[in-house]
């Protein structure tokens, strides 16, 4: 838990969210400002500022994050048509909340290149 971190407060229930999944390592909830019919955020319970903050000891945690996201995507029926994972990283990456999060975005056609 990091002081003044929005997503740590969401994990702790200090700020309400629509919970999608929780286990001892991973929490998932609906994005407050969805950019597609499905827009779910998957985050480690351990506070990491961004994905580059991960170290060797976090390798298993990163794997769990992706596996949880895969299950959520499957439960939301995104498997057949596909979807997009996004990890915005730092200022140029468009990151606005500095607690590592994996966006699951799906339910419509994505475009490339991203904005
Ligand atoms: P980033 O731009 O850092 O990759 O993504 C941050 C995401 O968090 C954005 O998609 C934004 O809509 C979402 N977000 C910001 N504040 C809140 C909040 O209080 N609750 C929820 N559920 N999502 C939030
Ligand atoms: Zn945090």
Would you say 43 and 102 are in contact if contact means Cβ atoms under 8 Å apart?
A: yes
Is residue 101 part of the annotated active site? The answer reads yes
Spatial neighbors of 38 by CB under 8 A, at least 6 apart, are 73, 76, 78, 83, 104, 105, 106, 107
CATH topology assigned to domain 6-106: HIT family, subunit A (3.30.428)
Question: What is the tens place of the pLDDT at every residue in 6-20?
Answer: 999 999 999 999 999
What is the position in ligand 1's atom list of the atom closest to the CA of 15? Answer: 19
What 3-state class would DSSP assign to 81?
coil
- The first and second tokens of residue 97, run together, are 């909340």
Cα–Cα distance measured from residue 51 to residue 37, given in angstroms and rounded to the nearest whole number = 25
Residue-level pLDDT at 1: 82
Question: What is the tens place of the pLDDT at every residue in 72-93?
Answer: 999 999 999 999 999 999 999 9
Residue ranges around ligand 1 (CB below 6 Å): 6, 15, 17, 29-33, 88, 94-97
What is the position in ligand 1's atom list of the atom closest to the CA of 94? Answer: 2
102: pLDDT strictly greater than 90: yes
Q: Which ligand is nearest to the CA of 105?
A: 1
Cα–Cα distance measured from residue 44 to residue 102, given in angstroms and rounded to the nearest whole number = 9
């Amino acid at each position: 838990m990091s002081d003044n971190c929005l997503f740590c407060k969401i994990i702790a229930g200090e700020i309400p969210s629509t919970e999608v999944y929780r286990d001892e390592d991973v929490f998932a909830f609906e994005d407050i400002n969805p950019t597609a019919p499905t827009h779910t955020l998957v985050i480690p319970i351990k506070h990491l500022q961004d994905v580059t903050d991960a170290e060797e000891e976090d390798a298993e945690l990163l794997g769990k994050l992706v596996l949880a996201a895969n299950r959520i995507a499957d439960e939301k029926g995104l498997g057949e048509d596909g979807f997009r994972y996004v990890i915005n990283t730092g200022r140029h990456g468009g990151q606005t909340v500095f607690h590592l999060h994996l966006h699951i975005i799906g339910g419509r056609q994505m475009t490339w290149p991203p904005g």
